[in-house]
Amino acid sequence: MRYSLFGKTGYNVSSLGFGAMNLPGVPLEQAREALNYALDHGINYIDTAAAYRNSEEIIGETISHRRSEYFLATKTNKRDYKTAKEEIERSLERMKTDTIDLLQIHYVNFVKDYKQAMGEDGAYLAALEAKRAGKIRFIGITGHRPELLARWVSKGDFDQVLFHLNLAQPFALEELIPEATRQHMGKVAMKPLSGGFIQPVDKAIRYPYSQDVNVIISGMVSVDEVKENIAAMEREVGDLERAELEQLAHKLGEHNCRRCNYCSCPLDIKIPDVMITSKIRDHFGLLPKGNGFYERLQDKIVACADYEPCREKPLCEQECPYHLPMASVIRKSIAYTG
Ligand code: SF4
Ligand code: SF4
């Protein structure tokens, strides 16, 4: 595993970060074991969010006694000063700590959200106040619109940025990562497996590991998963392997969906999941998780083809900032529903 200086923070962070998002779904003892194993084996970056059910409490309960051994990152998805301030206080309590190393303004995908969070009465002010009071050390931002994030971080208000970077979503490489590098920010990639659709784990982890990021957050819930993720980072990525992974990412990213979630479907079709897996399934066939996903979606995909309000102009496509042809991708998916 590699360690690198995390932007201007002065911390040397491990290239693998423990994503604690899914810990609320497993028994507390299993979470305790996984987190402590991770700390014992060199992981020193723990990422969670106030919005991840009781994930912060699990961290407080299981590893707060080892607080000096990890860089602690959490998030607030509040946009206004008052509720963000309350949430920061709650996060401190839940994680049983006096200081959060990094507070990220969470899931900023819309310009209006950014403006509100950065405005006079916004969440950023609450973060800044907490920073001045020593309750947090650094402020970051997360989102699913890489080109908007690139523009926002160029203003110099943030110490870190968190974005998607995986074999099916290589888009942060275009503008965001170079801009974050220019700003000397901490760069954190999330969802290396794109929610579990990309396999093998080794390849999926090694792609972001081959790129200019400090930390790759992988959502882990067991000692075995921690071991598997650490193993994928045992060797550095050579030039040849990097070129192969980049070529693969170019292919698997042809769908162009950023998972911004601007689109919605009255039939409740998970449009970004279909879009993002579309090239994976075309090139490699489906993985077990993908099979189950498409089987569950079968009736809805069939219904999409005849859905009257979308006949002339698909409702979802009217929302997509990238003007993607979602309806035709979804309708073609029928071939994969078994
Ligand atoms: S075209 Fe299909 S996926 Fe898009 S909104 Fe209509 S029913 Fe949903
Ligand atoms: S299909 Fe378009 S609107 Fe929907 S998540 Fe992807 S990029 Fe965003």
Residues near 190 by Cβ (< 8 Å), separated by ≥ 6? 19, 47, 142, 162, 163, 164, 165, 216, 217
What is the predicted pLDDT for the residue at 335? 82
CATH 3.30.465.10 fits 3-245, yes or no: no
| Adjacent-strand bridge partners of 16 | 216
User: Mutual orientation of helices 123-132 and 111-118 as an angle, nearest 10°?
Assistant: 40
Kindly report the pTM of this predicted structure: 0.95
Q: Give domain limits for the chain.
A: 3-245, 271-336
The reported pLDDT for the residue numbered 309 is 96
Task: Say which residue the tokens 């279909």 belong to.
Answer: 274
319 lines ligand 2 (CB under 6 A): yes
Q: Which atom of ligand 1 is nearest to the CA of 326?
A: 4
Confidence check: pLDDT of 157 > 90: yes
Mean pLDDT for 20-39 is 98
Does residue 261 line the site of ligand 2, with CB under 6 A? Answer: yes
322 within ligand 2 shell (Cβ under 6 A): yes
Please indicate whether residue 72, judged by its CB atom, sits closer than 6 Å to ligand 2: no
Task: Identify which of 262, 299, 304, 334 to mutate to test ligand 1's pocket (most ligand atoms within 8 A of the CB).
Answer: 304
Task: Give me the half-sphere count of Cα atoms (radius 13 Å) on the Cβ side of residue 195.
Answer: 12
Average pLDDT of 236-257? 96
In short, whether 257's Cβ falls inside 6 Å of ligand 2 is: yes
Angle at which helices 55-63 and 28-40 cross, to 10°: 60
Query: pLDDT tens for residues 60-105?
Result: 999 999 999 999 999 999 999 999 999 999 999 999 999 999 999 9
Task: Determine the atom of ligand 1 nearest the C-alpha atom of 303.
Answer: 7
pLDDT at 338: 66
Which pLDDT tens digit goes with each residue over 195-207?
778 878 889 999 9
Distance (Å, rounded) from C-alpha 216 to C-alpha 166?
A: 10
